[in-house]
Structure 1
Amino acid sequence: MTYDLKQRGGKLILLTAIIASGMAFLDGTVVNIALPVIQESFGASLGQLAWIVNAFALTLASFLLISGALADRLGRKKMFLFGIVLFTLSSLWCALARDATMLIIARAVQGLGAAIMIPGSLTIINLSFESSTRGKAIGLWSGLSGGIAALGPFLGGALVQSFGWPSIFLINLPLGVIAFLVGWWVIAESKAEQEGKIDWWGVILLVLGLTGLSYGLMQAPARGFSHPFILAGLIGGAVLLVAFILLELRIANAIMPLHIFKNRLVAGANLVTLFLYFALYGTIFFLPLIFQQAQGYTPLQAGLALLPSILIITFLSGPAGGLADKIGPRKQMIFGPLTVAIGFASLIWPNVGTNYWTGYFPGLALFGLGMAFVIAPLTKSALSVEERFSGAASGVNNAVSRIAALLAVAILGIVALGLFGDNLAEKLKQTSLHEAQRQEIKNQADKLGGIEIPETFNQVEASEAARVIDEAFVFSFRWIAGINALLAFLSALVSVWLIRPKVKPVI
């Protein structure tokens, strides 16, 4: 049975789809705001904070590619509701976590639930609405889900400051219950007759390869690159990912059909996605830490500090997409990343105590403007394939953006810790602290700006230690911002090279 948007059933289906996908998108923006408080609560290292973010990204990236095929075979309603239950229960698990390890495991399960919910909600809308209103329904789903995500920094900051970090996960419980009950009531079950087997080997190789690579990169600062476990993770992960690519080139039912990359637009769009979203997620991971730990913002202030860029993206992406329809993707896919690069480059200059409006706002506004101009043409270019391959192309581009996030947090974490540790050691030599006191600070360097100053320090010593910690953190972030600016600039060069008009769709 299909509906239009005026019917009660259609409104309820749209409601449950928006709530489900909105919860998943919201978690992508609220967790980063809570990281400094989580670090303080658990005494977590930067590596553990990275895993809290990347455990979610890892399962989301890996299973996005397979969840649609599973839903087609097992039942779309059944899988969608299962995703809601899994996401909601794992959110409760996150809130009840008593250490960083438990939170990391719960976040991985939460990412799996999100991987089922996000494509499932779009599929259900596509099948539940008449063709005359389907486009509007999809537009409302996309816009309102994105709007919920846009509230993430403000909502996350307010919740953390008022009720503590578990509240950012507990908010999913009533939303999940509503989405499940409404969906169970109004969504009709459907399946599709599918030929061929599911590419389980592809899923296994991708999950294990990304896990090995992530483990090696994120644990290397603590253990060293020569440690057997680190070498095993890096080499094993790389070998498994190569095996994944070779497998996907050989089989007909590949979860990542690599033949679509024969199209220059598709190849270029995904390469731009890799570089640009690496820079995006790498910056977003560190900014809440800088704001709260080095600049002294409250969680709410940190959320509000990020809000302008997200609002610019939310409100300008639509008009920018309409412009791209008229002039083609190339100009905006050059202008957008260049603007992002300038925005990130400007984040190099702020120091400890720099005013937000003169130090951070211009860069964040430029970043938001650039992303607003590039999102629609980037997505459209990534989907420049024949209609029968559109689902696969969408899944691939989604996976590339999530893998970019995964790699950004892992790789830039290594860079930040290395720069921070070296600069901190140099700055400590210039203080009046005794050698034993300096060593107490250096022993916590893996916490980055979250170093706890020992209670044995007097007020002057504590103030001096706090100053050099903040300065060393800002120093390392300047390099992170510079690297991300270069990557954004590189994505503009990719657009110059590969994004051409009038490219034939993949056959």
Structure 2
Amino acid sequence: MDIRLSSAKGRWVIMATVLGSSMALLDSTVVNVALPHIGDSLNADLADLQWTVNAYMLTLAGLILLGGALGDRYGRRKIFVIGVVWFAVCSLLCGIAPDIQVLIIARALQGVGGALLVPGSLAIIQSSFHPDDRAKAVGLWSGLGGVGAAIGPFVGGWLVDSAGWRWVFFLNLPLAALTLPVALRHVPESRDPAAHGRFDVLGAALGAVALALVTYALIAEAIWAAIAGVLAGVVFVLVERRRADPMLPLSIFKSRQFTAVNCVTLCVYAAIGGFFFLFPLQLQVVVGYSALRAGTALLPTTILLLLLSARSGALGQKIGPRIPLTVGPLLSAAGLLLMLRVGPGASYFADVLPALLLMGLGLVSLVAPLTATVLASVDTARAGLASGVNNAAARAAGLIAVAALPLLAGMGPQAYHSATQFNAAFHRAMLWCAGVFVLGSALAWATVRTPGKPAEQPECKINCGFSAPPLEAQKADAPLSERPATAP
């Protein structure tokens, strides 16, 4: 396709992809703010709130690589539209859920919709626009998505306080109603003519089952589930090694740099995921913030990422990735140690804001160089695969962190109903998160090296989501088995 960005059709395509990706992006930022209200409304304990977050992350992380391949084979617009409809229907189910069990099931189904929706957004831009306009189109899409991420917690808090927590999910319905007619009328269909239609459904299922069992083991403290999860992971590796077209070609890990950066990714995004799960609860349960105030409190960190990620990426290109990936986690760890001052009667400007700014500077330092280093650690034809694996690894790390942190910090099932108990457990959890950041820093210093070739700067330079790094677009000449998910 050769659509020009300056044309009316080009603007419609940008509108459809931004609105579609914003559904999943907003969902990852607004739900955490609503958790205390969900728990009170549905009489849920802490484990239920963990599953409210993790059910969505589980299916999204397990199926996102498969979602991109479906778009290549059956049509990117078609899978994108199906994802929008699926996501909207499941959002409605979340909003009308009569109890916590139904909400958790609806959230898992919502993640399936996200796995169909998320990969298609950037892939549509890459396949639709004239080559001269693609970088600008991706930059515009990324910037608008960053603005959406910045206002997400604020909007979520306002909805919870004014209309109730159910509107956090109902918010997706008007977004879908705007996206669908625009996508159907103005977005051109595209697919990969070389796609053969063989999908690694078994691999995707085994990966999701392994993650689910390990998550259950951590939340329910079930040893049998931990053993079963490890066994499912072993079977997943064996299956992927033997399949002709695996979802995850294990040969990509022959690159030591790629393996090293993904180990760093696991550490830093585990700490990030755990923090952003517990921090809104701390502000509301312990400090006494409203949902709106808690959501607004997070804005400085997001704005720092929005404004400075591109400059951080440029600096990483000049000095190499080792220093940013070492210093960034240390800054974030220091920010989390400052979080120990956030407790009853805490001042936002004296206690909360300095910690958020320091952590935000750490995230700014590491996110863009991490993405660029992942892309530079493999051949150009495998950039889409490398980015997809790194994105999935980050989501899985956040998933495990949300499951493990309450256990490690000694949070009981009803801890979030007691300000004293939750405050003490939150401080222990911040120490764990800071330690994981330091581990990531040590790994980066010991294993990451400046690539022999210039690091590819990802077109998606602005990343304001906290669940995973941005995905990079697939390369047109890459084999199908090496062209999984491409998305924000």
Task: Say if 1:13 and 1:186, in contact at 8 Å, map to a contact too.
Answer: yes
Task: Say if 1:22 and 1:146, in contact at 8 Å, map to a contact too.
Answer: no
What is the distance in 2 between the residues matched to 1:139 and 1:20? 16
Alignment-derived partner of residue 355 in structure 1: 347
Cα distance, 1:231 vs. partner?
A: 3.1
What is the distance in 1 between the residues matched to 2:391 and 2:117? 14
Higher mean C-alpha displacement, 341-350 vs 84-93: 341-350
> CA-to-partner distance for each residue in 1:32-69, whole Å, 9 max, x for gaps?
00000111101100000000000010010011111111
Alignment-derived partner of residue 265 in structure 1: 257
What is the distance in 1 between the residues matched to 2:180 and 2:220? 38
Alignment-derived partner of residue 203 in structure 1: 204
Taking the TM superposition and a 5 Å limit, the aligned residue runs for 1:137-216 are: 137-192=137-192, 193-195=194-196, 197-216=198-217
Taking the TM superposition and a 5 Å limit, the aligned residue runs for 1:421-432 are: none
Determine whether 1:251 maps to 2:243: yes
Cα distance, 1:501 vs. partner?
A: 1.2
Q: Flag the structure with larger Rg.
A: 1
SS at structure 1 position matched to 2:414: helix
What is the distance in 2 between the residues matched to 1:503 and 1:406? 33
Partner of residue 499 from structure 1, selected from 437, 440, 448: 448
Alignment-derived partner of residue 233 in structure 2: 241
SS at structure 1 position matched to 2:341: coil
> CA-to-partner distance for each residue in 1:406-439, whole Å, 9 max, x for gaps?
10010012123x2x4xxxxxxxxxxxxxxxxxxx
Alignment-derived partner of residue 217 in structure 1: 218
Alignment-derived partner of residue 432 in structure 1: none
Taking the TM superposition and a 5 Å limit, the aligned residue runs for 1:86-105 are: 86-105=86-105
Task: Say if 1:269 and 1:379, in contact at 8 Å, map to a contact too.
Answer: no
Alignment-derived partner of residue 119 in structure 1: 119
> CA-to-partner distance for each residue in 1:173-195, whole Å, 9 max, x for gaps?
11101111100001222222224
Alignment-derived partner of residue 490 in structure 1: 439
Alignment-derived partner of residue 287 in structure 2: 295
Determine whether 1:329 maps to 2:296: no
What is the distance in 2 between the residues matched to 1:494 and 1:136? 35
Alignment-derived partner of residue 470 in structure 1: 419
Cα distance, 1:101 vs. partner?
A: 0.7
Q: Which has the higher contact order (CA 8 A, sep 6+)?
A: 2
> What is the one-letter code of the residue matched to 2:70?
L
Cα distance, 1:503 vs. partner?
A: 4.0
Determine whether 1:404 maps to 2:397: yes
> CA-to-partner distance for each residue in 1:316-366, whole Å, 9 max, x for gaps?
112111221222222211111110011111112333222222222111111
TM-score, normalised by the number of residues in structure 1? 0.87
What is the distance in 2 between the residues matched to 1:408 and 1:179? 33
What is the distance in 1 between the residues matched to 2:306 and 2:103? 30
> What is the one-letter code of the residue matched to 1:99?
D
What is the distance in 2 between the residues matched to 1:403 and 1:346? 26
Distance 1:126 1:387, change over 3 A: same
Distance 1:63 1:377, change over 3 A: same
Alignment-derived partner of residue 472 in structure 2: none
Determine whether 1:58 maps to 2:58: yes
> What is the one-letter code of the residue matched to 2:275?
T
Task: Say if 2:2 and 2:131, in contact at 8 Å, map to a contact too.
Answer: no
SS at structure 1 position matched to 2:436: helix
What is the distance in 1 between the residues matched to 2:301 and 2:2? 38
> What is the one-letter code of the residue matched to 1:368?
G
TM-score, normalised by the number of residues in structure 2? 0.90
Higher mean C-alpha displacement, 495-504 vs 272-281: 495-504
SS at structure 2 position matched to 1:348: helix
Alignment-derived partner of residue 28 in structure 1: 28
Task: Say if 2:326 and 2:445, in contact at 8 Å, map to a contact too.
Answer: yes
Task: Say if 1:264 and 1:503, in contact at 8 Å, map to a contact too.
Answer: no
Alignment-derived partner of residue 457 in structure 1: none
What is the distance in 2 between the residues matched to 1:366 and 1:84? 36
Task: Say if 1:321 and 1:376, in contact at 8 Å, map to a contact too.
Answer: yes
What is the distance in 2 between the residues matched to 1:235 and 1:261? 25
Task: Say if 1:67 and 1:119, in contact at 8 Å, map to a contact too.
Answer: yes
Task: Say if 1:265 and 1:503, in contact at 8 Å, map to a contact too.
Answer: no
Determine whether 1:413 maps to 2:414: no
Determine whether 1:446 maps to 2:380: no
Alignment-derived partner of residue 78 in structure 2: 78
What is the distance in 2 between the residues matched to 1:415 and 1:501? 35
Alignment-derived partner of residue 68 in structure 2: 68
Higher mean C-alpha displacement, 67-76 vs 271-280: 67-76
Partner of residue 380 from structure 2, selected from 378, 384, 387: 387
What is the distance in 2 between the residues matched to 1:352 and 1:366? 21
Q: How many residues align?
A: 454
SS at structure 2 position matched to 1:370: helix
| Structure 2, unpaired ranges of 5+ | 456-481, 483-488
Alignment-derived partner of residue 317 in structure 1: 309
Cα distance, 1:114 vs. partner?
A: 1.1
Task: Say if 2:73 and 2:197, in contact at 8 Å, map to a contact too.
Answer: no
Deviation beyond 3 Å, 4+ runs, structure 1: none
Higher mean C-alpha displacement, 323-332 vs 4-13: 323-332
Task: Say if 1:202 and 1:247, in contact at 8 Å, map to a contact too.
Answer: yes
| Structure 1, unpaired ranges of 5+ | 221-229, 421-444, 451-468
What is the distance in 2 between the residues matched to 1:341 and 1:210? 26
What is the distance in 1 between the residues matched to 2:452 and 2:274? 32
Task: Say if 1:329 and 1:381, in contact at 8 Å, map to a contact too.
Answer: yes
> What is the one-letter code of the residue matched to 2:426?
F
Distance 1:196 1:158, change over 3 A: closer
What is the distance in 2 between the residues matched to 1:371 and 1:150? 15
What is the distance in 1 between the residues matched to 2:50 and 2:126? 35
Alignment-derived partner of residue 428 in structure 1: none
